[in-house]
Amino acid sequence: MEAEPPVLSHRLRTVFRRAGAVSYRRPFSLRSCGHGGPSRAAQERGGPRGETHGFSHLSPRFRPYTPMRGSLSNVWYDRYKISNDCPEHIETIDSMCQALTGLIDDEVKNGIGKNRILLGGFSMGGGMAMHLAYRHHQEVAGVFALSSFLNKNSAIYQSLKKIEREPPELFQCHGTADELVLYSWGEETNKMLKSLGVVTTFLSLPNLYHELNKSELEKLQAWILKKLPEQP
């Protein structure tokens, strides 16, 4: 497993504080879960974290996780299986969307407009962020999804067909050697979102497994600064 460099983590914290943004993401200070690392559920549970002028966050919940035969796991939502070719577990997805909406509402009450908010995450956290943004908070500045995917019949696609405004821009990265969340799933997700009017950036990361690396995070940092430049 490869740990994210501490210096880059500090820079990202600085970027978010300057931007006055809230980002729901996997904590970058945690070790990435790569090939041969922790269990499939642990690898996939990377999720959003809240951040604005510091770090506030809402953690995933322990819930029965079907891919682990119903055993309790700390995940954002349930899946029928880890595949893009099955229905979404919409009940647990919507439950977490409601909880995370409360956190966004708190930031708005504190004076941060939704156009200064980014939503994003790693793996399942990226999926969570896409559901939150494209179905419930279409006014946010953008979304980032790292090693993430959507199911072929995702409710997000149905929501985007009805949208009456320009949807949030998407920054997406995926390792070509990912054996948990296949590269083709991420690529298919990006193509589908693009066909529905989402402006996207899709970065292929050669020989990268289901993990984060320094180059990926540096590119994410540059995108964040572009989307949320420092205000005078």
Q: Provide CB contacts within 8 A for 224, sequence distance 6+.
A: 12, 15, 16, 19, 21, 23, 118, 144
How far is Cα of residue 127 from the mean position of the Cα atoms in its chain?
A: 5
Q: Provide CB contacts within 8 A for 10, sequence distance 6+.
A: none
For the chain, what is the total number of helices (H) and then of strands (E)? 7, 6
State the catalytic residues: 123, 178, 210
Alpha carbons 87 and 75: distance in angstroms, whole number:
17
Per-residue b or e along 92-108, where b marks 16 or more CB atoms closer than 10 Å to that residue's CB: bbbbbbeebeebbeebe
N residues, the chain: 232
51 residue type, one letter = E
